Structure 1
Amino acid sequence: MPKGRNEQDIVEVYQWVRTKERGQQMMKLTKEQREALVSEIQYYYEVERSETMGELAATDILEFMLKTIGPHVYNQALEDARKMLNDRFAAVEDELYAMHKRAVR
């Protein structure tokens, strides 16, 4: 069911106020990403728990997850990227050594 413009405005203001009153900088998501995630949360609760969840409650859960789990996921992604880059740099270094030519006497 499409949301009316007034409902969207209320949710956006609510999100802004909640973020400001907590004094936190939340992860930046586009409006479309945020709406999709809120819908996924609502869908999960409906299908898995047979509970109907409003948009504001789903937004609160999303904010909580971003605040508490987000930094852990972000840090692990950085570690995974660091490991992958180190492995690739090591492989490139090996290839460079293999390309050395022997000096002729």
Structure 2
Amino acid sequence: MSIEISKEARQQAIASIERYFMTHMEEPISNLAAGGLLGFFLEEIGPLIYNKAVSDVQAQIQARVAEVDIEVHEEAFGYWQKSGHSRKT
């Protein structure tokens, strides 16, 4: 599965890469080269991050499912205790 990002996100990411190179590297990077680098990262490293995120979400969902019985549990035979009904004497 390839990781796709929106056109706007791609433009922002390329601008961020260009800014990073201007700030931290000895030579700037062109817009075309920054786009290529972004494509490489999305294809090569993106799946690692994506899979980690999926794993994290699965763990969160499993934890919530494990708590469902606690959150929605109802005691059986509680009519007499809850309603205040008593036996006629």
Q: What TM-score do the two structures reach when normalised by structure 2?
A: 0.77
Alignment of 1:24-103 (within 5 A): 26-97=2-73, 99-102=74-77
* Structure 1 stretches of at least 4 aligned residues deviating more than 2 Å after TM superposition: 94-97, 99-104
**What residue in structure 1 maps to residue 84 of structure 2?**
none
User: Structure 2 CA distance, aligned partners of 1:91 and 1:51?
Assistant: 54
**What residue in structure 1 maps to residue 87 of structure 2?**
none
Residue-pair matches, total: 79
Aligned residue type for 2:75: H
Q: CA deviation at 1:29?
A: 1.5
Q: CA deviation at 1:48?
A: 1.1
Aligned residue type for 1:101: A
Q: CA deviation at 1:33?
A: 0.7
Q: CA deviation at 1:102?
A: 4.1
User: Structure 1 CA distance, aligned partners of 2:2 and 2:13?
Assistant: 15
For the pair shown, which has the larger CA radius of gyration, 1 or 2? 2
Unaligned runs of 5+ in 1: 1-24
Q: What TM-score do the two structures reach when normalised by structure 1?
A: 0.67
**Identity over aligned pairs, percent:** 29
